[in-house]
Structure 1
């Protein structure tokens, strides 16, 4: 690895979970774990609607797994609102095997990505630049 490509930043992520009939959350986190040179941790809250400024100021990106949207709309709405209020970029991941994403999510996303691990990592790193 070249010296200028090295990135020791630890990205603090919120990744949507909830009702997940297709196991997309586990598949997504496997993609992150497969890239050993990408450092990340996950922030979780019992309620994203009531999590305060102190919680959100530590978050670098919100990852919305679009395939979970229909069964978890309230969670997505809370995270969309938090993204806007706290200026946190959204990385929208297309539903597994599909190109279409819900329009309400597409409008708020800083970047939209598929399921390629390298593209996911690049999107997380680049999301702030597209806001």
Structure 2
């Protein structure tokens, strides 16, 4: 209790671990990696990754239904869903399914506006609870506001 008050008195955020599901296209893994770098480098921000990176064995699911169920299991444990709002998201059946699952499970969605992108996904932005700019402060602040 004293420690909490000390952090708040100093203007520092309360420390907690944020369980994040990061929805992204494997074709654009460099954006995913940069986003995880933002989280790892941000001061006073602890997080756990519940997303589906390319090297995760979840890809061995035999059917789309099995993969969807596995993704649902990951989103279930997330306190927030972060979606890279690149235009590719508009055409991804998996990102659309992840949005649907997040909504069904009442998980807040943070859309991240890609740096320098001229076009972004209307579908992602329309379903987001908040749209963050492509910098760690904006993204982390959005997560802290929304995460359950």
Q: State the TM-score, normalized to the length of structure 2.
A: 0.73
Task: Name 1:97's counterpart in structure 2.
Answer: 116
Structure 2 residue runs without a partner (length 5+): 1-5, 53-57, 59-65
Aligned length: 128
Cα–Cα, structure 1 residues 54 and 98, in superposed 2: closer, same or farther, change >3 Å?
closer
Structure 1 residue runs without a partner (length 5+): none
Moved over 2 A (4+): 44-48, 51-57, 67-72, 98-101
Task: Name 1:19's counterpart in structure 2.
Answer: 27
Task: Name 2:82's counterpart in structure 1.
Answer: 63
In 2, Cα distance between equivalents of 1:50 and 1:15: 16
SS where residue 69 of structure 2 aligns?
Answer: coil
- The 8 Å contact of residues 19 and 72 in structure 1, kept in 2 or not, is answered as no
Cα–Cα, structure 1 residues 67 and 9, in superposed 2: closer, same or farther, change >3 Å?
same
**Which structure would you say has the larger Rg?**
2
Cα–Cα, structure 1 residues 51 and 7, in superposed 2: closer, same or farther, change >3 Å?
same
Q: RMSD of the TM alignment (CA)?
A: 2.7
Q: State the TM-score, normalized to the length of structure 1.
A: 0.81
Aligned counterpart in structure 1 of residue 7 of structure 2, from 3, 6, 10:
3
| Structure with the higher fraction of residues in helix conformation | 2
